[in-house]
């Protein structure tokens, strides 16, 4: 494909335009966890697919569930169906998903245990994910952007060390506090794995990348800089070198007043705002730095009706003066009626700012 063709192609994709800081008449919309349990057709596929990991590693089915929300809703992007814990899995750490319990990993708790992990098979192990992207690339409508993703090293490490999600990420925080050099080795390993992973995602067709840092809250400034900002910056720089022009959206959930420093420190192209970020504050302190994405309360999407419409319009109005990608502040929850998602997408795509 020639450069001019690529430019032409991009120009059809509203999400890419916003990330390139072009002006668009209405914000693009996609929704975190737009493929997922709230959709009956997802639950149907899930039932026959074996474990959650088996679904992630099945290119045909993973592509199918990625496409499901696109068939129902006029969304501007598809996001690869995968999980942030594929990285520990590819590094050789045993990961399993227990129904109703979420993921469980065999914990790593010292630098010595890192010896059991290896970068050697990242590409091989994750080949099915790249095949999923390859399939999607040819099946998406012209105006729909394809988003790849990974967890941020800090968040992935909290699972690798804690074995499962925890409200205070205690295990990782304690390791990092007691033995920062050892913990740094773990972070470095995850950074290296993530760079390999994301580069191959782009080679396979991803046009935008998102880094999910779900556990970026409650960290003191120095820890936030060392474990959140610095590794993210390394990934952004590495991808910028090998794949210039592929925008990376960072999502440091719960980082609050630390978000402006995160943008400046990492060089991300755009930033996700969780539901707790006050919009007037974000308009003043975040949006001048880069396009913002998110903020709609997933529970407003559960409620639907007037409450949803009011919130959605308030977000559209708040952010209309700068770069804005419409999204939720966190993933769609299973209790969400699909009709509410349809209502939201209709509202946003027909909005005339």
Minimum distance from residue 158 beta carbon to a copy of itself (Å): 12
The yes or no reply on residue 277 touching a copy of itself (CB under 8 A) is yes
The yes or no reply on residue 257 touching a copy of itself (CB under 8 A) is yes
Whether 71 is catalytic is no
Q: Which candidate in 38, 57, 159, 262 is catalytic?
A: 159
Q: Which is nearer to a copy of itself, 130 or 251 (CB)?
A: 251
Residue with tokens 């590819």: 90
Minimum distance from residue 283 beta carbon to a copy of itself (Å): 11
| Phi, psi for residue 335 in degrees, rounded to 5 | -75, 0
Whether 33 is catalytic is yes
The residue range among 22-30, 67-75, 145-153, 222-230 that interacts with a copy of itself, by the rule CB under 8 A, is 222-230
The yes or no reply on residue 256 touching a copy of itself (CB under 8 A) is yes
Q: Which candidate in 33, 135, 226, 253 is catalytic?
A: 33
Q: Which of 64, 76, 274, 343 binds a copy of itself (CB under 8 A)?
A: 274
By CB under 8 A, the residues from 157 to 216 that bind a copy of itself are: 165, 167-168, 170, 173-174, 176-178
Cα separation values, 134 from 6, 27, 146, 221, Å: 17, 27, 10, 40
Separation CA 283–CA 326 (nearest Å): 14
Pairing of strands 102-105, 95-98: antiparallel
The yes or no reply on residue 302 touching a copy of itself (CB under 8 A) is yes
The residue range among 9-17, 27-35, 219-227, 319-327 that interacts with a copy of itself, by the rule CB under 8 A, is 219-227
Minimum distance from residue 256 beta carbon to a copy of itself (Å): 2
Q: Determine contact, residues 293/270, Cβ cutoff 8 Å.
A: yes
Q: Which is nearer to a copy of itself, 303 or 347 (CB)?
A: 303
The yes or no reply on residue 303 touching a copy of itself (CB under 8 A) is yes
The yes or no reply on residue 273 touching a copy of itself (CB under 8 A) is no
Cα separation values, 100 from 37, 63, 103, 156, 334, Å: 12, 24, 9, 20, 12
Interaction mask 322-341, a copy of itself, x per CB under 8 A: -------xx--x-x------
Minimum distance from residue 308 beta carbon to a copy of itself (Å): 9
Task: Give the binding site for a copy of itself (CB under 8 A).
Answer: 165, 167-168, 170, 173-174, 176-178, 217-224, 254-258, 261, 274-281, 285, 295, 297, 299-300, 302-303, 307, 311, 329-330, 333, 335
Instruction: Provide the annotated active-site residues.
Output: 33, 37, 46, 83, 159
């Amino acid at each position: 494909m020639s450069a001019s063709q690529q430019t032409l192609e991009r120009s059809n994709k509203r999400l890419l335009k916003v990330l390139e800081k072009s002006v668009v008449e209405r914000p693009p919309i996609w929704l975190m966890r737009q493929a997922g349990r709230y959709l009956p057709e997802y639950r149907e596929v899930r039932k026959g697919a074996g474990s959650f990991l088996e679904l992630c590693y099945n290119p045909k089915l993973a592509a199918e569930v990625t496409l499901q929300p696109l068939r129902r809703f006029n969304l501007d992007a598809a996001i690869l169906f995968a999980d942030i814990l594929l990285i520990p899995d590819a590094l050789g750490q045993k990961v399993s998903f227990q129904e109703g319990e979420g993921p469980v990993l065999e914990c790593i708790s010292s630098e010595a245990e890192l010896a059991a992990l290896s970068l050697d098979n990242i590409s091989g192990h994750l080949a099915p994910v790249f095949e999923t992207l390859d399939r999607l690339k040819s099946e998406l409508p012209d105006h729909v952007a394809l988003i790849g993703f990974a967890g941020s090293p800090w968040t992935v490490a909290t699972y690798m060390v804690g074995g499962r999600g925890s409200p205070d990420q205690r295990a990782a925080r304690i390791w990092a506090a007691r033995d920062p050099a050892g913990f740094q080795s773990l972070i470095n390993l995850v950074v290296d794995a993530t760079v390999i992973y994301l580069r191959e995602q782009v080679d396979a067709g991803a046009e935008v990348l998102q880094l999910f840092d779900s556990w970026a809250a409650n960290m003191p400034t120095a820890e936030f800089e060392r474990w959140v900002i610095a590794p993210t910056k390394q990934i952004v720089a590495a991808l910028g070198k090998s794949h210039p022009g592929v925008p990376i959206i960072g999502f440091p959930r719960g980082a609050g007043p630390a978000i402006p420093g995160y943008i400046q420190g990492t060089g991300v192209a755009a930033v996700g705002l969780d539901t707790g970020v006050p919009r007037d504050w974000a308009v003043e302190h975040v949006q001048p730095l880069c396009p913002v994405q998110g903020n709609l309360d997933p529970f407003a999407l559960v409620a639907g009706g007037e409450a949803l419409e009011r919130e959605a319009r308030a977000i559209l109005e708040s952010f209309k003066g700068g770069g804005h990608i419409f999204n939720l502040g966190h993933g769609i929850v299973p209790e969400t009626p699909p009709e509410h998602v349809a209502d939201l997408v209709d509202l946003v795509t027909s909005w005339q700012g």
